[in-house]
């Protein structure tokens, strides 16, 4: 569609638009007839829909109107909107959950109530508090208290039973009254409280209760041989209950109840094989072999043509879901689902841990199991972007063109960074994929896309810290950590201490927090600051550093990183406070100069593709074809 009403002898207003996985960025510029460019502004918004689909139109129009408003220009003045050739990318995650532990007819409680009562290890038979008055003296008793019981009544009944000779050695409470009860007992015993599913604790069974001293963790019930000693287990039974011990590690209190018929069984969940095609060959690799073996196979088949998973397995379901999602997206967009045209062109495997639920637990106990995370990248044709261009053109009454390949445009934008010249390589660190491009001194550009970026990092953090909350995981990824040590001071993750004039809110006291611009936000985890920091940095390294190296090897002459001189980091993840440092440290031994881009000298690592589209269009204007 043309742009009627524009004088070809006057400057033209053009907008470069880069539709990414997470954000859509725009760069507004005025192009003189001689091809000179005057940049007028840049803006960004969240991407609407899956990248490279017609759902992107709403976000593209929004960011174009926003950047025009910011520059004081009107939509009618726009001559051309330049869109990137956005490749649809969908990433998925498959977890190699090797073993699921099922405890049948056995029960465990392992959690960290804020204030358990008493301390020590006690073993006895579970008895409901309502039956305590009639219980005969003799055997040790673990008293089980429903939520409706008041702490004064609990203490009175227990004291009366003890006075009759009943050996009450511990208590399990539904309410949050452990300290209140303990303070009223004539003979304090370990008390575990806040057990919401206390009605599921089996009665008349042998139980062990352990509460550690403040600042310490339990030692007996979190040790396989400790459990064997308490319950008199043989070697086979000890091997079977070892997952219970692992699940209780790090807790301050725990209860384990063993029934006479209690046993532990393991159920093997099939993980499956990956079937990879590329370089004229087909190879299979078992996901059980781990990330290193998978990535070695991927490297032997470059460039990949497609990847499938074994049907009926974890990995088969995951890859099928990725294909189905893309098929649905295309079908919803224009009714032209083309499953045959959808190919998985890259996968990234990362060794990780996943929280596996231990059945029989009453407080959501989990044990971390070895796992492999898989990010898969789906690419399809550019035909959907033409629909976006047509819709943008119709809405704005301006010409809309698909301007060029993302990698080449990103290099063009990176070249506006002060101090950068060809030959140069760029790494675009996005949300779903990591892209690399190399432009030689002669202007020849080579670009690749590899699976895995910021979204995978978030999922790894969420999984390995067992957060179960994506927003919290995002906070851990983006912001430095600290530990609130008093109402007026905290200790940052680098060890420095900062004091404040006003007290912190009580919900962050003694908690690990992320230091957001709006203040400290607590992280709901039982792990310490050092562990959370280690998980965060390891996740970033296993995704971004690994992807940076393998993407650069694919564009470097002869696959030799030493042949590269300059690498510019672009994209939203280049704004991260430690990812550029991690990548630069990895590339330093190869003699590579690596840093974060500053597009147009003012925009930082953002809008590289959008400004590259404008540069490319201006160059085409000044050197018309033919």
Note the pLDDT tens digit of each residue in 36-86.
899 999 999 999 987 778 889 999 999 999 999 999 999 999 999 999 887
Kindly indicate the confidence band of residue 107, based on its pLDDT and cuts at 50, 70 and 90. low
What Rg, from alpha-carbon coordinates, does the chain have? 30
Q: Which CATH architecture has domain 419-482+519-597?
A: 2-Layer Sandwich (3.30)
- SS3 of 223, please? coil
Note the pLDDT tens digit of each residue in 130-182.
999 889 998 899 999 998 899 999 999 999 999 999 999 999 988 888 899 99
Tell me which residue has tokens 């918004």. Answer: 45
Q: Which CATH architecture has domain 104-265?
A: 3-Layer(bba) Sandwich (3.50)
562 in Cβ contact with 369 (< 8 Å): no
Note the pLDDT tens digit of each residue in 418-460.
888 888 999 999 877 888 999 988 888 898 888 888 888 998 9
Long-range contacts formed by 175-178: CB under 8 A, 24+ apart? 175/145, 175/147, 175/149, 175/151, 176/113, 176/114, 176/115, 177/151, 178/113, 178/115, 178/116, 178/117, 178/118
DSSP 40-92: EEEEEEEPPSSTTSTTHHHHHHHHHHHHHHHHT--GGGEEEEEEE-PPP----
- 91-98+269-379: which CATH topology? Ribosomal Protein L22; Chain A (3.90.470)
- Containing 106, the helix (H) or strand (E) segment is strand 99-111
Long-range contacts formed by 227-235: CB under 8 A, 24+ apart? 227/256, 230/121, 230/123, 230/256, 231/206, 231/256, 231/258
Q: Of the candidates 576, 623, 208, 611, which has an alpha carbon nearest to the alpha carbon of residue 417?
A: 611
In the predicted model, what is the mean pLDDT of residues 268-284?
82
Average pLDDT, the chain: 83
Q: Which two tokens stand for residue 77?
A: 């003045």
pLDDT higher for 260 or 555?
Answer: 555
Determine which of 371-380, 498-507, 508-517 has the lowest per-residue pLDDT on average: 371-380
Kindly indicate the confidence band of residue 241, based on its pLDDT and cuts at 50, 70 and 90. confident
pLDDT higher for 157 or 233?
Answer: 157
Kindly indicate the confidence band of residue 567, based on its pLDDT and cuts at 50, 70 and 90. very high
- SS3 of 145, please? strand
Q: Fold match between 1-87+383-408+606-625 and 104-265?
A: no
In the predicted model, what is the mean pLDDT of residues 571-581?
92
pTM of the model: 0.73
In this predicted structure, what is the pLDDT of residue 533? 96
In this predicted structure, what is the pLDDT of residue 624? 52
Determine which of 149-163, 263-277, 279-293, 391-405 has the lowest per-residue pLDDT on average: 263-277
In this predicted structure, what is the pLDDT of residue 359? 56
Strands (E), 287-364: 304-309, 343-357
Tell me which residue has tokens 């979190």. Answer: 222
Contacts for 159 with CB less than 8 Å, ≥ 6 apart: 184, 185, 186
In this predicted structure, what is the pLDDT of residue 7? 53
Could you tell me the sign of the dihedral formed by the alpha carbons of 410, 413, 414, 420, in that order? positive
Measured in whole angstroms, the distance separating CA 539 from the mean position of its chain's CA atoms is 8
User: Could you tell me which residues are beta bridge partners of residue 228?
Assistant: none
Q: Where are the domains of the chain?
A: 1-87+383-408+606-625, 91-98+269-379, 104-265, 419-482+519-597
Is the CATH code 3.40.50.1000 the one for domain 1-87+383-408+606-625?
A: no
Torsion of CA 456, 461, 467, 469, to 10 degrees: -40
């Amino acid at each position: 569609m043309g742009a009627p009403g524009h004088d070809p002898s006057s400057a033209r207003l053009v907008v470069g638009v880069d539709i990414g996985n997470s954000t859509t960025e725009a760069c507004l510029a005025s192009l003189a007839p001689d091809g000179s460019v005057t940049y007028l502004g840049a803006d960004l918004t969240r991407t609407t829909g899956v990248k490279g689909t017609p759902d992107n139109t709403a976000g593209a129009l929004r960011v174009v109107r926003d950047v025009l408003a910011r520059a004081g220009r009107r939509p009618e003045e726009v001559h051309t909107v330049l869109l990137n050739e956005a490749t649809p990318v969908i990433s998925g995650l498959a977890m190699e959950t090797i073993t699921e532990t099922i405890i049948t007819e056995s029960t465990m409680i392992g959690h960290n109530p804020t204030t358990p009562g008493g301390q020590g290890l006690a073993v006895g038979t579970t008895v409901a508090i309502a039956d305590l008055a009639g219980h005969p003296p003799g055997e040790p008793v673990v008293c089980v208290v429903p939520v409706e019981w008041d702490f004064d009544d609990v203490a009175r009944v227990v004291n009366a039973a003890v006075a009759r000779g009943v050996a009450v050695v511990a208590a399990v409470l539904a309410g949050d009254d452990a300290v209140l009860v303990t303070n009223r007992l004539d003979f304090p015993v370990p008390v575990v409280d806040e057990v919401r599913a206390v009605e599921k604790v089996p009665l008349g069974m042998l139980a062990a209760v352990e509460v550690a001293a403040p600042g310490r963790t339990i030692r007996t019930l979190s040790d396989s041989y400790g459990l064997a000693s308490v319950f008199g287990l043989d070697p086979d039974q000890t091997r079977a209950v070892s997952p219970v011990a692992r699940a209780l590690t790090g807790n301050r209190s725990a209860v384990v109840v063993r029934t006479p018929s209690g046993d532990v069984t393991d159920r093997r969940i099939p993980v499956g094989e990956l079937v990879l095609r590329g370089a004229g060959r087909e190879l299979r690799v078992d996901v059980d072999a781990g990330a290193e073996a998978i990535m070695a196979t991927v490297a032997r088949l470059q460039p990949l043509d497609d990847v499938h998973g074994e049907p009926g397995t974890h990995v088969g379901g995951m890859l099928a879901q990725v294909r189905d999602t893309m098929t649905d997206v295309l079908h919803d967009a224009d009714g032209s689902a083309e499953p045959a045209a959808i190919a998985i062109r890259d996968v990234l495997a990362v060794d990780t841990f996943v929280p596996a639920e231990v059945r029989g637990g009453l407080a959501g106990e989990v044990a971390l199991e070895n796992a492999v995370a898989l990010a898969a990248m789906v690419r399809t044709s550019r035909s959907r972007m033409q629909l976006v261009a047509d819709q943008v053109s119709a809405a704005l009454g301006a010409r809309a063109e698909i301007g060029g390949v993302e990698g080449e445009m990103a290099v063009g934008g990176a070249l506006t960074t002060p101090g950068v010249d060809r030959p140069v390589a760029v790494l675009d660190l996005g949300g779903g994929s990591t892209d690399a491009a190399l432009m030689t001194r002669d202007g020849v550009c080579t670009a690749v896309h590899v699976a895995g970026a910021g979204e995978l990092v978030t999922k790894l953090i969420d999984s390995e810290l067992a957060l179960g909350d994506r927003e919290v995981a995002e906070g851990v990824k983006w912001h430095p950590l600290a530990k609130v040590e008093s109402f007026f001071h905290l200790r940052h993750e680098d060890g420095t201490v900062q004091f404040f004039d006003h007290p912190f809110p009580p919900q962050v006291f003694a908690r690990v927090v992320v230091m957001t611009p709006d203040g400290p936000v607590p992280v709901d985890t039982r792990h310490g600051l050092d562990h959370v920091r280690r998980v965060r940095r390891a996740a970033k390294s296993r995704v971004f550093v690994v992807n940076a190296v393998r993407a650069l090897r694919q564009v470097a002459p002869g696959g030799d990183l030493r042949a590269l001189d300059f690498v510019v980091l672009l994209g939203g993840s280049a704004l991260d406070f430690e990812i550029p440092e991690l990548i630069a440290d990895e590339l330093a031994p190869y003699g590579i100069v690596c840093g974060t881009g500053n597009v147009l000298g003012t925009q930082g690592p953002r809008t590289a593709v959008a400004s590259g589209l404008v540069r490319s269009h201006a160059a085409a204007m000044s050197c018309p074809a033919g």
